[in-house]
Structure 1
Amino acid sequence: MLMPKKNRVAIYEYLFKEGVLVAKKDFSAPKHSEIDVPNLHVIKALTSLKSRGFVTEQFAWKHFYWYLTNEGIQYLRDFLHLPAEIVPATLKRQTRPETSRPRPKESYGEGGQRGPAQDRQEYRRAAGAPAGGDKKAEAGAGGGEFSFRGGAGREGGRGGGPGGRFGAPPPAVGAGQ
C-alpha cells in the first residue's frame, strides 16, 4: 500500500522501541491509538512485515498483536540506521525496585514447624481434637462403618420397570410374594 515514508518510519520506530504493537481491527479509524498515523497504515505496514517474517501476528477480540522477531529487529536496525546497542523494550531486563513488604514473623510452633506452614496444617485436625490430633490416623479402609442405602434398585433408574417412573407410587414391600 502506498503511504508516506514519514508514516512508515513512525510505525517502525514505535515498533522497534516497544518490541510489540497492538492495533484494533478498524480499517476506517482516522488515527492509531498510540501512533499519530491512520490505523489502516499501521495494519498494512505490519501485515507486510509479517509476510516477510519480521513479526509474528496474533489476533484476538478484534485486535491485532504483532511481536518483533530477531530478524525483524535486525531489519529495523538497518532501516532506521540504529546502532547494535539499542534494543527493543521487550529485550531489556526490567529493574524492579526492592520494595520492603512486611513479612510475617517466623515463629516455631509444635514439632519445630514455622508459623505459616503450621497454619496450613490446621485443616487436618479433627474438630474438637487436641492440637496434636491427626485426622490421617482416623482415615482409611478400617476406619469406620460403611452404610449403603438402597438406591434405585434393579427396577428403578432411567426408563426402568415399575416404580422407577415419575408419578407412579412405589411398589409395596412384600406384596405379590
Structure 2
Amino acid sequence: MLMPKLNRKKIYEHLFEEGVCVAKKDFNLKSHPEIKEVSNLEVIKACKSLASRELVKEQFAWRYYYFYLTDEGIKYLRDYLGLTEDVIPATHKVMRAERPVFGAKSAAGGPKGEGERSGYRAATEKATEAGPGAAPVRHGFGRGEPQHQ
C-alpha cells in the first residue's frame, strides 16, 4: 500500500519501541489510538507487510490484530531506523522484581513464621468440639422428605 514515508517510519518506531503492535480491525478508523496522525488502515497494512516477510508474528483474535516483533524483525528495523545495537524493544528488556533479603522480617513487620502453617496447628483458640456428633445433623434436603427437628 502506498503511504507517506513519515507515517511508515512512525509505525516502525512504535513497533520497535514497544515490541508489539495492536490494531483493531476497523479500516475506516481515522487514526490509530497509539500512533497519532497515522490511520489505522496504514498501521494494519504496514504490519501485514512485515508479517509477509516473517519479520513480525501476526495473531488475530476478537477483531484485533496483534503483531509481535521477531529477532529478524529487530535486526531489520534497527537497520531501517539507523539504531545502535544497545537499543532494544520494551518486550526484550529484562525487568527484575525486587525480592526481600533472605531471613528478613515479613512485610507486615511481625516476627518470622507468623502466618505460616504452624499458625494453624496451634490449639489456643479452639471454641468448639471436634469429632462425630459435634455438628448438627440436618435432614430434609432430598425428594420431599419432611424436615426433622
Which TM-score applies when normalising by structure 1?
0.61
Equivalent position SS for 2:43: helix
**1:16 and 1:117, CA in 2 relative to 1: closer, same or farther beyond 3 A?**
same
**1:96 and 1:128, CA in 2 relative to 1: closer, same or farther beyond 3 A?**
same
Identity over the aligned pairs, expressed in percent? 51
Provide the residue aligned with 2:86 in structure 1.
Answer: 85
**1:97 and 1:28, CA in 2 relative to 1: closer, same or farther beyond 3 A?**
same
Provide the residue aligned with 1:51 in structure 2.
Answer: 52
| Number of residue pairs matched by the alignment | 122
**TM-aligned CA deviation for residue 64 of structure 1:** 0.7
Which digits, 9 at most, give the CA deviation of each residue in 1:13-66, with x for residues without a partner? 000011011011100000000002000000000000000000001111111111
Amino acid at match of 2:43: V
For residues 95 and 25 of structure 2, the distance between their equivalents in structure 1, rounded to whole angstroms, comes to: 30
State whether structure 2 residue 101 is matched by structure 1 residue 101: no
Amino acid at match of 2:129: G
Provide the residue aligned with 2:41 in structure 1.
Answer: 40
**TM-aligned CA deviation for residue 104 of structure 1:** 5.2
Matches within 5 A, 1:1-177: 1-36=1-36, 37-96=38-97, 101-102=107-108, 105-107=111-113, 115-119=115-119, 128-129=129-130
For residues 87 and 25 of structure 2, the distance between their equivalents in structure 1, rounded to whole angstroms, comes to: 30
Gaps (5+ residues) in structure 2?
101-105, 123-127, 132-149
Provide the residue aligned with 2:135 in structure 1.
Answer: none
**1:128 and 1:20, CA in 2 relative to 1: closer, same or farther beyond 3 A?**
same
**1:115 and 1:2, CA in 2 relative to 1: closer, same or farther beyond 3 A?**
closer
Which digits, 9 at most, give the CA deviation of each residue in 1:80-133, with x for residues without a partner? 0111110001111224456883265334xxxxxx752135669xxxx723xxxx
Provide the residue aligned with 1:161 in structure 2.
Answer: none
Superposition CA RMSD, Å: 2.7
Gaps (5+ residues) in structure 1?
108-113, 130-134, 136-177
**1:106 and 1:97, CA in 2 relative to 1: closer, same or farther beyond 3 A?**
closer
Equivalent position SS for 1:116: coil
Equivalent position SS for 2:29: coil
**1:104 and 1:62, CA in 2 relative to 1: closer, same or farther beyond 3 A?**
farther
Rg (Cα) greater in structure: 1
Which TM-score applies when normalising by structure 2?
0.71
For residues 116 and 80 of structure 2, the distance between their equivalents in structure 1, rounded to whole angstroms, comes to: 56
